[in-house]
């Protein structure tokens, strides 16, 4: 496309030098790119500047709050939020361009099908695809939740699904992925405990089983082979960890 679109590309970063350039290059249609960095020790800031992005340093506040801060720095009300290890496919770029070709998009927000790569394979079923996420939205009618992890966009108005994929091309090791699930479930359990939520023994036991059955059987995750099995099994174990940690927090409070 020859003309830029009146939207801001938003990326939050920390130590993402090895993947940021490809991320920014996948969305050349955005009128501007905003990178909010929370103290990278590698060349992330230099890479962002070299790619023409506007770089804003900001201390880490948690995923939801950090993304809301970044959205607030945009020069346009329409924003496209992506992670440094994600790539906008040509099909998704064309769908976004078609929205603006008709003037300002009608919906408040648009969801995209995120496709995850795991153990070297692009997943096509289960939790891995289509992993619908709202990423394009009018910040006057939508915003990120303030959740410290597993944040999502809430909109005042209709949300429409777009054609084309957002590829999640994570290159992290299996060890790093599992460590991240451990960190995330701790944050989730702490947030749930702060809201007064509790988990009974049945929830702790049944939640991982239900999650595995839903994504491996109902959502056909078994068709993704070993990679699909491992992805869903880790997700089910993460569900167990979240509720087990929540139960542990409650038990400490009762001592």
Crossing angle of the two packed helices 225-254 and 174-194, in degrees rounded to 10? 40
Could you read off the pLDDT of 239-248 as tens digits, one per residue? 999 999 999 9
Tokens for 129?
């695809």
Q: Where are the alpha helices (DSSP H) in 35-129?
A: 44-50, 63-72, 90-101
Could you read off the pLDDT of 39-64 as tens digits, one per residue? 999 999 999 999 999 999 999 999 99
CB 63 within 8 A of CB 146: no
Say if residue 171's pLDDT is above 80: no
At residue 169, the pLDDT reads 86
Name which of 45-54, 61-70, 106-115, 164-173 the model is least confident about. 164-173
Going along 83-190, which residue ranges are E strands? 86-88, 109-118, 121-122, 131-138, 142-144, 153-155, 159-168
Q: What is the pTM of this model?
A: 0.91
Say if residue 2's pLDDT is above 60: no
Say if residue 152's pLDDT is above 80: yes
CB 152 within 8 A of CB 131: no
Number of Cβ within 10 Å of residue 58's Cβ equals 15
Exposure of 80 in the CB half-sphere (CA atoms within 13 A): 30
Q: For residue 159, what pLDDT band results from cuts at 50, 70 and 90?
A: very high
State what percent of residues in the chain have pLDDT above 90.
93
């Amino acid at each position: 496309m020859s003309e830029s679109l009146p939207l801001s590309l938003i990326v939050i970063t920390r130590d993402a030098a090895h993947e940021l350039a490809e991320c920014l290059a996948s969305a050349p249609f955005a009128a501007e790119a905003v990178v909010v960095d929370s103290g990278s020790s590698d060349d992330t800031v230099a890479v962002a500047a070299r790619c023409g992005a506007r770089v804003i340093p900001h201390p880490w506040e948690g995923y939801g709050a950090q993304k809301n801060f970044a959205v607030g720095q945009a020069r346009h009300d329409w924003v496209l939020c992506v992670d440094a290890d994600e790539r906008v496919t040509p099909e998704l770029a064309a769908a976004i361009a078609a929205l603006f070709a008709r003037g300002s998009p009608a919906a408040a927000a648009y969801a995209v099908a995120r496709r995850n790569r795991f153990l070297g394979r692009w997943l096509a079923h289960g939790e891995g695809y289509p992993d619908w996420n709202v990423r394009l939205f009018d910040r006057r009618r939508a915003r990120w939740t303030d959740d410290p992890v597993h944040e999502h966009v809430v909109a005042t108005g209709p949300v429409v699904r777009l054609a084309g994929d957002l590829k999640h091309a994570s290159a992290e090791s299996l060890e790093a992925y599992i460590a991240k699930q451990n960190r995330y479930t701790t944050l989730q359990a702490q947030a749930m405990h702060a809201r007064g939520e509790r988990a009974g023994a049945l929830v702790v036991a049944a939640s991982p089983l239900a999650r595995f059955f839903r994504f491996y059987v109902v959502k056909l995750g078994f068709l993704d082979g070993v990679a699909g099995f491992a992805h869903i099994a880790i997700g089910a174990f993460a569900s167990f960890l979240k509720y087990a940690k929540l139960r542990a927090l409650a038990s400490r409070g009762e001592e």
